Structures are given as structure tokens and as C-alpha cells.
Amino acid sequence: MINNKKIVVVLPAYNAEKTLEKTYKEIPFNIVDTVILVDDKSNDRTVQKAKELGIHNIFLHEKNQGYGANQKTCYDEALKLGADIVVMLHPDYQYSPKLIPSMVTLIANDVFPVVLGSRILGKGALKGGMPLYKYIFNRILTFIQNLLIGANLSEYHTGFRAYSREVLEKINYKVNSNDFVFDNQVLAQIHFAGFEISEISCPSKYDEQSSSINFRRSVKYGFGVLKTSLLFFFQRWNISKYEIFNSNK
């Protein structure tokens, strides 16, 4: 805990057997209270490895539902456990768990309700091995999103995030996509709800064991990102209304 805030790390897992142990062992358990792993019907020994590591809160999807659906279960279960701060960390060791204290301290001390680990700040993306075409797409999409949403983030596409309980209870994340665009919808919802977002520089690691979507799915994701930003723009200017921006309260 920090400032009596319960900290829960959620691991949305799919075929993470080879990297789960490295990720888990770097989690700072001096401040993290609980870890939740949600397995989206992996084809490897992810679940067995999680049990061997002593992860007690393991939830299984009976069939593969997608990255967004995995996160929905993660956040539902974290809130049920009484989390005050939820950290979403990919178990593929692409992001460093050592940054968790810096991220959650900002939330626990009521500085920001949302903190993102940005691969773009500090030039960590290309240095860490991000494919050039993904870096270019990232920069183009982020530029367009900042224009449409009216924000100034260095990137919207990181998979390393920390949220306050208030944020997760306020936004309607359950109506979001079950696919990869879920992450972008969440940030659009957070902006629409008026929450401030902070970023810290986060080195990233890309290798053969890191999870990554192929070019075709990247293009699909890009169009989904643009659609989300346009919906935000239309609702912001009262041109139309969309369910994803309806508050839970």
C-alpha cells in the first residue's frame, strides 16, 4: 500500500508462459498488495506457470475472447477485491514493472488519477526495438488523436497503465470493444469524463517473445483508433451521442 491505498496489478495474459516469470519477479511487492492474472484461453502453459509462481487470483476464459475482453475481466475482478489503484501490466516483459512505484505514487498522492508508461518519451521505443512501421503509425495516429480529442499525450498506444478506482468506476469500459482498440476507447472515455492523465518515460523491450499484432491487424487497429477519436469529436461538439461516453454515474 501507499497512503493506505490498495494496489492491484492485473496481468491480461495470452501465451505468456516464457515471459511471465521475468515479469512477475520484477513486480515490487513491497507496495503491491495483490496480482490478478486473467488467461484468455492460452495455448501454452501460462496458467500452470502462474500457479507455480504463487499467483492466487487466476481467472480463466473458457474461450479466447480478445485483448479488450481480457481487460474487462481484469478490472471487474480488481474492483471486486477492493483495489484503490489498478496497474495494467502486460506479462510479456515488454514494459518494466520497476516503474510501478513511480506510477502509483502519483495516484496515491492525488496528483493524477491516471498514469501512462510512454515508450515515446525519452526515445525508448526505437531503442527498445519497436518496428519502424509501428513507430511511424504510432506517431501519426497520436498526432491525429491529439487534434481530435484536444489532448497532448506523447502516445495513446501503451500497454502499461495505472488507474485510480474512481476512474474505472466512472467510465463505461464494459461497452468497449473486445479487441485491441479497447485501450484507445478507455483513454477517450477518460478524457471525456474530464480526468487528467500523466505520462512517465518507459523503456520498452521488443524481442521474439514479446506479444505483437501483425501488419494486417495493426491496420485494423489504426482504423479503430481513428473511429474512436472521431466519435469523441462528434460527441464533444454535440453532433451526435455514443454509448461509450455515457458515464456509469
Taking 80 as the threshold, does the pLDDT of residue 139 lie above it?
yes
Please state which CATH number belongs to domain 7-245.
Answer: 3.90.550.10
Beta-bridge partners for 88: 10, 161
- pLDDT-derived band of residue 31, with 50, 70 and 90 as boundaries? very high
Please check whether residue 167 is in contact with residue 86, taking contact to mean a CB–CB distance below 8 angstroms.
no
Residue with cell 485501450: 183
- Please state the domain extents for the chain: 7-245
Residue 86 has pLDDT above 80, yes or no: yes
41 - beta bridge partners?
A: none
E-strand spans in the chain?
7-13, 34-39, 57-60, 85-88, 114-118, 161-164, 197-201
Residues 54-77: tens digit of each pLDDT: 999 999 999 999 999 999 999 999
The pLDDT value given to residue 126? 74
Residues with Cβ < 8 Å from 143, sequence gap 6 or more? none
SS3 call for 167: helix
CB count in 10 Å sphere of residue 110:
10
DSSP letter assigned to residue 122: G
Is pLDDT of 244 > 80?
A: yes
| Distance separating alpha carbons of residues 219 and 216, to the nearest angstrom | 5
Q: Provide the pLDDT confidence category of residue 248 given band limits of 50, 70 and 90.
A: confident
Per-residue pLDDT at 74: 98
Q: Is the model's pLDDT at 180 over the cut of 80? A: yes
So what's the pLDDT on residue 118? 93
Q: Could you tell me which residues are beta bridge partners of residue 228? A: none
* DSSP conformation class of 117: E
Tell me which amino acid residue 12 is: P
| pLDDT value, residue 73 | 98
**What is the model's pLDDT at position 147?**
96
Grid coordinates representing 77?
475482478
Average predicted confidence (pLDDT) for the chain: 93
- 166 versus 248: the higher-pLDDT residue is 166
**Percent of the chain at pLDDT exceeding 90:** 83
- What predicted TM-score, i.e. pTM, was given to this entire model? 0.94
Render pLDDT for 189-227 as a digit per residue (tens, 0 to 9): 999 999 999 999 998 776 665 566 777 888 899 999 999
Does pLDDT of 16 surpass 70?
yes
Exposed (0-12), middle (13-18) or buried (19+): which is 91, by Cβ within 10 Å? buried
Residue 207 is predicted with a pLDDT of 65
- Rounded Cα gap, residues 73 and 114, in angstroms: 19
- pLDDT tier at 13 (50, 70, 90 boundaries)? very high
